[in-house]
Amino acid sequence: MDEKFKYVFEAHSPIKIKNIPWSFCKYCGLVFLNNQATKWCIKMGCHNSYHPQYKQTINKLTKSK
Ligand SMILES: [Zn+2]
């Protein structure tokens, strides 16, 4: 098994900037949009792209109807 990057949960640190309706994480830069894929990324923390289910989940969630 190739495990170059191990997924570790690290909570996001959302910050809010005036005049911008969305928060974003100051560590990974994730923009907190209101969609299923983003919600999953929020739940999984800053290292969500290292999560073993990342590609599969994002593909599933971003495929709209
Ligand atoms: Zn983050």
Half-sphere exposure at residue 54, Cβ-oriented, CA atoms within 13 angstroms: 15
Mean pLDDT of 5-18: 93
Mean pLDDT of 25-30: 96
Contact at 8 Å (CB) between 1 and 17?
no
Q: Compute the distance from residue 31 Cα to the ligand 1 centre, in Å.
A: 9
Q: Compute the distance from residue 29 Cα to the ligand 1 centre, in Å.
A: 6
Q: Which residues contact 6 (CB under 8 A, 6 or more apart)?
A: 50
Q: Compute the distance from residue 1 Cα to the ligand 1 centre, in Å.
A: 26
For residue 34, pLDDT over 60 is answered with yes
Contact at 8 Å (CB) between 52 and 8?
no
